[in-house]
Amino acid sequence: MSTEKALQQLSPTADPKKYWTSLGQIEQSPEFQKMVEREFPEGASEMTDPMSRRRFINLMGASMALAGLASCRRPVEKIIPYVIQPEQITPGIAQRYATTMPFGLSAFGLTVESHEGRPTKLEGNHLHPASMGRADAFIQASILDLYDPDRSQLVQKNGKKATWAAFVDFWSKLYVSYLNNGGQGLAILSESFASPTLYRLKQNFTQTFPKAVWATYEPVSDENIFAGISAATGQSLQPNYDYSKANVVLALDSDFLMMDSENLTAARGFATGRRVASETDSMNRLYVVEPAFTITGGMADHRLRLQSGQVGTFLATLAKALQRQNVKVDNRWLPAQNEPSSIDTAWIKELARDLVANQSQSLIVAGRRQPAEVHALVFALNQSLGNIGKTVVYRALKDAAAPSTESLVELSKALKSGEVETLFILGGNPAYSAPADLAFDKLLTTAKQTIHFGKNADETGCLTTWQLPQSHYLESWGDTRSADGTASVIQPLIEPLFDSRNTVEMLSLITTGALPKAYDVVRETWNSLIPGNFEAGWRRVLHDGVLADSATPVKQPAIDKKLATFLQAHPFPATSATAASMEIIFTASASTFDGRFANIGWLQELPDPNTKLTWDNAALLSHTTAQKLGVKNEDLVAVELKGRMISLPVWIMPGQADWTVVVALGYGRTKAGRIGNYIGQNTYTLRTSESLHFTRGAKITPTNGIYALACTQDFHGLDVEKLASEGIDRRLPTLIREATLAEYRNHPEFAGQESEFPNNSMWPDWKYDTGYQWGMSIDLNVCTGCNACTIACQSENNIPIVGKRQVAKGREMHWLRLDRYYSGNLDAPQMVFEPVGCQQCEMAPCEQVCPVAATTHDAEGLNVMTYNRCVGTRYCSNNCPYKVRRFNFFNYTKDTPEIARMAMNPDVTVRFRGVMEKCTYCLQRINRGKQVAKKENREVRDGEIVVACQQTCPTDAIVFGNINDPDSQVSKMKKQNRDYGLLAELNTRPRTSYLAKLRNPNPELELSNHRG
Amino acid sequence: MAQIFPKWTNKLPPVVAAGLLLALLAVVGFFWYFGSPMYTDVGYQPVQPVPYSHKLHAGDMGMDCRYCHTAVERSTVAMVPPTQTCMNCHTLVLPESELLKPVMKSWSEGTPIPWVKIHKVPDYAYFDHSAHLRVGVGCASCHGRIDQMEVVQQDQPLSMGWCLECHRNPDMSLRPIDQITNMSWTPPVNQLELAAKFKLERNINPPTNCSGCHR
């Protein structure tokens, strides 16, 4: 069937909704057919690489001969006790410490699990306002950054081994001369930070060296937002959104649920307004205008695809519509010309009506990609709608080095003209991530001496005179301020693994010429921060991780008179991008962010939530654009922008604006390390300082090449019947149950099972009258698809990564995957996510076929997996309708470097080749909880055992507990009328159940049949 | 024509069959016995870096197990004591002894003493000392009469079957909590009655599912 024909069938009004996962499914390509029929994708079960079958048998023969002799002797194992045992440490009992992860201007408070002094797992700190006990995928994965074997391990001078003493000696000589000339010729390029101590040191630096240059650069930052607010108010402020108070949210090119800053508070607030317990509850409404799907767009009730460059025009049109509905909008804010016809005016009218109806309970938010003028107008409209002070408040940036691309451009000019003699680069990787027009890597040679202080000897570090190893935040003393100004402390969990220093020490060294202890410097700063008795207060801060009540006061900004002039000077483009001059959009990668996480295997292998691509970036195109260009998925194309060109494979994304090409930053690194090198293409080479985020003038030329991408979207597709297509069409609407709020109110039981299935099992029922019965409920209505649970699970359960080639064969090991489905047509589909892990069936098909009883039912209802019994027949996974079982085709942990093994959870078995594995509801946590309760001779309390995915979930979509207790939270959730089980008609009786998804479309817009 | 095979060969097939069967049984029996932890592990008595005598300390002098193995009631592991614990006494008691040389060396140099592990449960089985002590299983139940061992050796097979025997019927191993470190405790006459009482009081229902120990 051709795509055209398939598309016709995907009429937007077709009912019941037709769900699909990929273009392959719509076209019913032979590859897709095969994929759903097979237990694992083709080739997954063949042993092809890295060694041939013959070689394998050779080796096996040899090792059998050796094993015969060696196994006679019992291996001697040693117990190495302490000489002097630290007071707090009891072997076998994990400890938790509070610390903070700095991330640009943001800071996320964490509690870190530490086993005998070895940090293994990160969780959010409940007391910290920016994390609120939750963590996202980047935070979860940053533990691997600590144990990165490719970190810079020693001081290097011109690529040769040197020492810190040598560097201190070198600097102290220069230091004196700079003291005398006021720092003429001295420059610092830093990452952005919000930290009382670093800010104090920065002030000291500027005082000591008044003539020195300080530049701050972040490749992906909120710079435009600050600039917009500053243009609107004349003040330097940052926004704090409260999505929980907003009934109507309009997101303009903003992925506030995942990739924008302060995503955890945003997701949590949004979920608060979204969560529904019964049909009488109300829920918020989300309008999204964006060029390409983000998970925020997936949550939208109404989504409009629009080029990034058109968003400003859209906003101006909206402003006019608001003005017509008597909202105070100054005419001088708006462009003179008429509204372009390409934007759906009916849509805007209804949106405006909704915003007006919810004044002071609505919120307009624009993404960090959008230019300052959009943010300025957003501020003005939020002000006119009465939202400021209600759904959004503003606070002054405190103790912050705010990012400024302009400062980097200035620094580059100074470097070019030879004014800079000594350049310190404090963190960051400008040789890789600076705008291409600056040619920063070449500029590094113009300074007499350059010093790179960074975690890796990366693209920058290998060009500078000195490379100084920087400590990871889990090895450092320091402090931060979160977006609301709350001060929190960074305390080390472990001594530096290598000969590294932290940023506080480094900056002190630059300013004072001597290396102090960071602990002393931080304490000195906090002396003035902590009110009352310092020692007591300090101990409290170390315990809590945060300084209570230290948020900065809320400002009441008014609109500055200059706003009109500013908006007049920066008009929005009226035309849209076309074939001749396509729009290119640079996005931060959900895996590597701006490239800083490139060497973290967990993140590289984590499927992008929208594209489901792993280990690569691609040129994302809309379906129509690709068709007009004559390209299809995995075709290599040349992406050209202003004379610069790179070659990227095409990936077609439903719901993307035509004539846009979206490329992710953070790939194509050459000095990231063994994992991140040469993964994807470096798109920074197209990015210039005038157009950091999106621009027109891109050209795409098909080439003859083909490049294979590893995409997981069709893998583990749920099928029931042997034959794919018809079965899937019928089945998909039962996997995802979705309704509008109005439909839900009319039919509260819409998600319920269509019929009762008789229990005609061959096996006797399990008796569950006493004790615990574990179960899980996942609320699809608040699940945003952000991937945090997948990484939390990977970190907790020692799940290996397998590499791109293995992923392409469908051998990825994630116990918890996020299925992504589309519904509706290719141009304006809706997107739904569904986290699927082992459903812990009551009548588990896997248990019934295991020939060695390696997977069995336990008394508390879990399907448990005994790894040491498994012989790898894979019958269980063949028989699993949910495709949640994962097989170790190779010994994936064999090559894990010693240092990376330190991240392993000692409470979970590391699985060997030939063993099946799967989710066990974090059995180690259940057992720990039970034992704690038992020692105190009581029952486990509800909420006492928290599983890893649940703990990290920013929206609390996942709830776990004892379903034998009718008052437990999970029982209450399962009693809701939206509760349904996946493939319940198979009589598997899953213990994980789902709450059906709801959308809250504007009835007016729905009537006029504007879907999507 | 004379017969090729003499008459007695008629008996040969059953004899050969019986012989083969016996041989097979012998092989199975051999591995059954000599391959089991009962044979391979019980009695394992490696040479330790310090000639420490449990008989002297725990037996003759009557020190409580928990003086050194401090974590046993709180943690999964009983904990081999740090050198510091030895030095609590041995700074004064026999500091010059030849036998204590390795301890003194460890103390002065700050290097740990590499004890050889005797009681080993496989990595995929998660044993918790504290859980067993809480319900009143004594040290001696698994470790034997440590107080009589000059050099410690493994007393029980520590195999899964052996664990399960007790998990299925723990009656004979439950004792009053204050007797857990008493090496010479023997079940009283009314042990079954007591065990029933303990099970109720201490909420004892030992897991026999795989998930009890394997994860």
Instruction: Write down the domain spans for chain A.
Output: 3-41+714-754+770-999, 95-146, 156-221+401-544, 237-396, 582-711
Angstroms from B160 CA to nearest CA on chain A: 12
Residue A93 with chain B: CB contacts under 8 Å? 71, 74-76
Using DSSP's 3-state secondary structure scheme, residue A17 falls into: coil
A372-379 mean pLDDT: 93
pLDDT of residue A55: 55
Does A74 sit within 8 Å of B44, measured CB to CB? Answer: yes
Select the residue of B44, B84, B117 nearest A83 (Cβ to Cβ).
B84
Q: Find the CB nearest A934 among B79, B134, B210.
A: B134
> Min CA distance, B87 vs chain A (Å)?
10
CA distance A770 to A772: 7
For range A982-1009, the mean pLDDT: 84
pLDDT higher than 70, residue A748 = yes
- Cβ–Cβ gap B117/A83 under 8 Å: no
Quick check: A74 contacting B, CB < 8 Å?
yes
Chain A residues lying within 8 Å of B130, measured CB to CB: 931, 935
One DSSP character per residue, A72-91 reads TSPPP-EE---SS--TT--T
Residue numbers in A near B117 (CB within 8 A): 76-79
pTM of the model: 0.89
pLDDT tens, position by position, A146-185: 999 999 999 999 989 999 999 999 999 999 999 999 889 9
User: Cβ(A914)–Cβ(A888) under 8 Å?
Assistant: yes
- Mean local confidence (pLDDT), A867-882: 92
> Which class does domain A95-146 fall in?
mainly beta
CA distance A355 to A542: 44
Query: What was the pLDDT predicted at A339?
Result: 57
Q: Is the pLDDT of residue A283 over 70?
A: yes
What is chain B's Cα-based Rg?
Answer: 25
Residue A459 has pLDDT above 70, yes or no: yes
Average pLDDT of the segment spanning A442-455: 92
* Residue of chain B with shortest Cα separation from A770: B205
Question: What are the start-end ranges of the H helices in A247-397?
Answer: 263-274, 295-299, 311-324, 345-357, 372-384
Q: Which CATH class is domain A582-711?
A: mainly beta
Q: Examine the predicted complex and report whether its ipTM is higher than 0.90.
A: no
Task: Give yes or no for residue A563 having a pLDDT over 60.
Answer: yes
Which residues on B lie below 8 Å from A869 (Cβ)?
Answer: 210
Among all residues of chain B, which has the CA nearest to that of A88?
A: B71
Confidence of residue A756 (pLDDT cuts 50, 70, 90): low
Across the interface, of A83, A85, A909, the residue whose CB is closest to B215 is A909
Does residue A717 surpass a pLDDT of 50? no
State pLDDT tens for residues A841-856: 988 899 999 999 999 9
Interface test with B, best of A73, A76, A77, A79 (most B CBs within 10 A): A79
Give percent of chain A above pLDDT 90.
65
Predicted pLDDT of residue A14: 43
A372 has pLDDT over 50: yes
Q: At residue B162, does pLDDT exceed 60?
A: yes
Q: Which of residues 98-117 of B touch A (CB under 8 A)?
A: 106-107, 110-117
Instruction: Give the gap in angstroms from C-alpha A859 to the nearest C-alpha of chain B.
Output: 7
**pLDDT at residue A1009 in the model:** 45
Long-range CB pairs of B95-103 (<8 Å, 24+ gap) are: B99/B50, B99/B51, B100/B50, B102/B49, B102/B50, B103/B50
Smallest CA–CA distance, residue A947 to chain B, in Å, is 14
Mind listing the pLDDT tens digit for each residue in A193-230?
999 999 999 999 999 999 999 999 999 999 999 999 99
Q: Is the pLDDT of residue A7 over 50?
A: no
pLDDT confidence of residue A894: 86
**Cβ-based contacts of A88 with chain B (< 8 Å):** none
Closest chain A residue by Cα to residue B111: A83
Nearest alpha carbon to residue A254 among A370, A419, A114, A424: A370
Per-residue pLDDT, A23: 64
Chain B residues with CB inside 8 Å of A83's CB?
82-84, 106-107, 110-112
Q: What are phi and psi of A721, to 5 degrees?
A: -80, 165
Q: What is the DSSP string of A510-553?
A: HHHSS---HHHHHHHHHHHHS-S-HHHHHHHHHHHSB-TT-PPP
C-beta atoms surrounding A968 within 10 Å: 22
Across the interface, whether the CB atoms of B211 and A864 are under 8 A apart is answered: yes
Per the listing, tokens 């797992």 go with A121
Q: What is the distance between the alpha carbons of residues A566 and A373, in angstroms, rounded to a whole number?
A: 8
Question: What does B51-109 look like in DSSP terms, one character per residue?
Answer: ---HIIIIIIS---HHHH-GGGGTSSS--PPPHHHHHHHHTTSSTT-STTHHHHHHHHH
Q: Which of residues A254 and A937 earns the better pLDDT score?
A: A254
Could you tell me if B35 lies within 8 Å of chain A, comparing CB atoms?
no
Question: Does an H or E element contain A166, and which?
Answer: helix A164-181
Query: Fold for domain A3-41+714-754+770-999?
Result: Alpha-Beta Plaits (3.30.70)
Q: What is the mean pLDDT of residues A43-52?
A: 49
Question: What percent of chain A shows pLDDT beyond 70?
Answer: 89
A386-A387-A392 Cα angle (round to 5): 150
Residue A976 pLDDT > 60 = yes
For A237-396, give the CATH class: alpha beta
| Intrachain domains A156-221+401-544 and A582-711 with the same fold | no
Residues near A494 by beta carbon (within 8 Å), at least 6 away in sequence: A114, A117, A118, A119, A146, A474, A475
Assess A72–B contact: CB distance below 8 Å, yes or no.
no
B76 Cα to chain A: minimum distance (Å) = 6
Measured distance between the N- and C-terminal CA atoms of chain A, rounded to whole angstroms: 25
- The residue whose two tokens read 């664990």 is B163
> What is the mean predicted confidence (pLDDT) over B162-189?
92
Question: CB distance from B210 to chain A under 8 Å?
Answer: yes
Confidence band, pLDDT 50/70/90 cuts, at residue A693: very high
Cα–Cα dist A889/A39, whole Å:
14
Tokens read off for A904? 């392993």
Q: Is A76 on the interface with B (CB under 8 A)?
A: yes
CATH code linked to domain A156-221+401-544: 3.40.50.740
Q: A657, A622 in Cβ contact below 8 A?
A: yes
By the CB < 8 Å criterion, does B203 face chain A? yes
Element (H, E) at A635: strand A635-641
pLDDT-derived band at A15, boundaries 50, 70, 90: very low
Q: Give B2's DSSP letter.
A: -
**Between residues A46 and A977, which one has the greater pLDDT?**
A977
Nearest chain A Cα to B35, which residue?
A72
